[in-house]
Amino acid sequence: MISVVVPVFNEEANVEEMHRRCSAVLIAGAPAHEIIFVDDGSTDSTLNKLRKIAASDEHVKVLCFSRNFGHQLAVTAGLEHATGDATVVIDGDLQDPPELIQEMIDKWRQGYQVVYAERQKRRGEGILKKATAFFFYRILRLLTTTHIPVDTGDFRLMDKAVVDSLKKMKERSRFIRGLVSWVGFRQTPVKFERKERLSGETKFPYRKMIRFGLSAIFSFSDKPLRIATFLGIGASGLGFAMIVWGLYSKLFMAETTVKGWTSVFVAVLFLGGMQLFTIGIIGEYISRIYEESKGRPLYIISEKINFEQDNTQS
C-alpha cells in the first residue's frame, strides 16, 4: 500500500492534472494506493474540484482545513492520516514530477527507508530565488548538527517506520525535511530537474521564504544564541578598550585631545545595535516557547472526504 500526500492551496488549475498523473504512476506500479489531498484553506474552486475527483475515484481522499494553517502543517495532517506502508509527499503545483514516484518506490523496495528528491536544476525561477535557496541550505548546514541534504524540498518517500516517528513529534514550528533527517533511518537521493509551475503563481513569496528559513534555523540550531553571546563579548571588549583609550587620552593627551561627540556617537550606535540584534535572536526563541506552551491543536479539519473515521483536529 502506497500513500501519496498532496498539500494544496489555491491550485484549482493543477489538481486535476496532478490527480491524473499521480494515478497513472500508481496504477502501473502500486495498484494498492491512496492519494490524500490536503486543502489548506483554499479560497478558489480547488475544494470543489477535489470533491468531484474524490467522487469519481475511491482512491482519493480529501482533508479540508478550517482555514489556512500553512504548508508544513498540511503535510503533517496528510502524514498523520496516511495508512500506507510507504508515504510520498509531493506539492500540488507539478514542479515536482509525479513520474519520479516510481523510482522512489523502487529504491524503497531495495531497502531504503527515506528516498528524497534532490534538485539538479530549478527551471522557471529567478536568479535571486535560486541564490537565496542555495545560500539557505549551506548556511543551515553550517548552523545545525543534523545533516540536512542540500537542494531538497519535501518531495520524498518515507517508510511507515519513519512516518510513525514523525507522528510522535507535535512541535508547532515544523521543518519537515529537517525532522526527517533528524529521525535518521536509511536514506538515499534520486536526482531530477525541477520544472516550471504548470499554471498559477507560487504560494511562497520572499516574505514567506524568509519566515520559513528562520523557522528552520531556530528549530534546528542553538548556534544563533551562541553567536549573540560572542557578539556581546566582542562588543564588551571593544567598549572596555574604548574606556581605556578615553582615560589614557584624558590623562596623558589632554592638550592634543579633540573634544567632540563622534566617538561617543559611534560607540552608542554600535553597542545599541548589538543589543537589539541579540535581543531579537532571544525573542525568536522565546516566541517559539510561547507558541508551544499554548497547547493548541496543530490544525483543525472542517471536512473529511472518503475517510472512514471523522476526527476533526490534531
pLDDT tens per residue, range 49-76: 999 998 988 899 999 999 988 888 999 9
Q: Mind giving me the DSSP string for 221-264? A: --HHHHHHHHHHHHHHHHHHHHHHHHHHHHHH-TTTPPP-SHHH
Rounded to an integer, the average pLDDT of 147-156 is: 79
Name the pLDDT band for 218 (thresholds 50, 70, 90): low
- Grid look-up 540584534 returns 277
**Treating both helix axes as pointing N-terminal to C-terminal, what angle do 46-56 and 15-29 enclose, rounded to 10 degrees?**
30
Would you list the domain boundaries of the chain? 2-201+296-305, 223-294
Q: pLDDT tens for residues 250-281?
A: 666 655 555 555 566 566 766 776 777 777 77
pLDDT beyond 80 at 39: yes
Q: What is the pTM of this model?
A: 0.69
- Grid look-up 535557496 returns 133
Of 65-74, 111-120, 144-153, the least confident: 144-153
Q: Which residues contact 127 (CB under 8 A, 6 or more apart)?
A: none
What is the helix (H) or strand (E) element at residue 34, kind and residue range? strand 33-39
Rounded to an integer, the average pLDDT of 172-200 is: 78
Name the pLDDT band for 116 (thresholds 50, 70, 90): confident
pLDDT reported for residue 126: 62
pLDDT beyond 90 at 308: no
Q: And the C-alpha cell for 223?
A: 548556534
CATH superfamily of 2-201+296-305: Spore Coat Polysaccharide Biosynthesis Protein SpsA; Chain A (3.90.550.10)
